[in-house]
Amino acid sequence: MHIDTIAVQALRGHEHGAVVPPIHLASTFELDPADNSGAYDYQRGANPTRAALETVLAALDGARFGFAFASGMAATSAVFSRLTAGDEVILPAGVYGGTYRFVDKFFEARGLHARFVPDLGTLTDADFTERTALVFVETPANPTLRITDLRRIADLAHAHGAIVAVDNTFMSPVLQTPLALGADIVVQSATKYLAGHSDLLGGTVTTDDEEIAASLALAQKALGGVLSPFDSYRLIQDIKTLPLRLERQQANAVALAEHLRDHEAIGRVLVPGSHDAHEAAVHASQASGPGAVLSFELGEGIDRIAFLRALRIPVYAVSLGSVETLVCHPATMTHEAMTPAARAAAGISDELLRLSVGIENLQDLREDLDQALAAARRPRTAAEATAEIPVHV
């Protein structure tokens, strides 16, 4: 079935034929005194509503196993909990700021090693050692939209006994299914496109590997960062409209990227594949669209603060993937945990803005960006004005 059908029908006949599955709020369940057996025992270990959601998550990614966590970082942390002292992880320099913070603050104390690479596309056999256990990938990267060839990375990592985890938050399973491209683990912040309404915090992990699945189930039970039954119920409903929402968001984003690219007040616009022709070809081969996030820099003479304050529709806030358009300043928001040197290595300039495009009317969005750019044009100083007066000799 196509994913827009799966999103709606994944739980068909799941429980008593209910079209909408019920919420099971019980924190504990009755067991058989003879052997303590039962389908469920304690909510942290498993819950019928969360199990229903995890069935949907696995179906969306074409996976055997799905897991729901309390946040995207709880999901990422569960993946990292598989690692043992001495293991090395290779990550892109432009990885999400929350992931960077976890690596920066917790890896050393756990005896783990991290290697940040400016471009995962340059990895070769020589970059792997016997302690390389995991390659963590974002494609498109956040917020530079750089692209990584997942098939190539998977083949390379597997040849050296390492596994590949992909943060697929920007694409969602609607546009990209990393497991089908060779990845071992897929992570998403469900807060973003899966939920899509800026009112739910969650994270997901899917895999086809039984041993990895067992470690994730253990992480849920031992670390406790699980999604609540109520939020699991709500996420099941939100996912049903995911393909429709993303279709509108992507159409708006493509049009706005083209509009901004031609605007005299804009310096550069970043979208998946904009770095070079090779990355464009790779993205086209592994994803079915560019998604709905773009980044851009304001041109010379445009005041960033004035521009952001003049916007009437985009909300200046962290996060992405919501029905409302959101704009943020990565250097001081999503990636503030990075040092200036780390941001520079990742290609995140102090002037870069990230726009997560929503489902609003395209004309309204375009006109609002235009008026904000006009309002933010910095007045020329007397010296600048004089410098522009032609000198006749």
How far apart, in whole angstroms, are the C-alpha atoms of residue 268 and residue 260? Answer: 8
Output Rg (C-alpha) for the chain, integer angstroms: 23
Which positions are catalytic? Answer: 44, 96, 167, 192
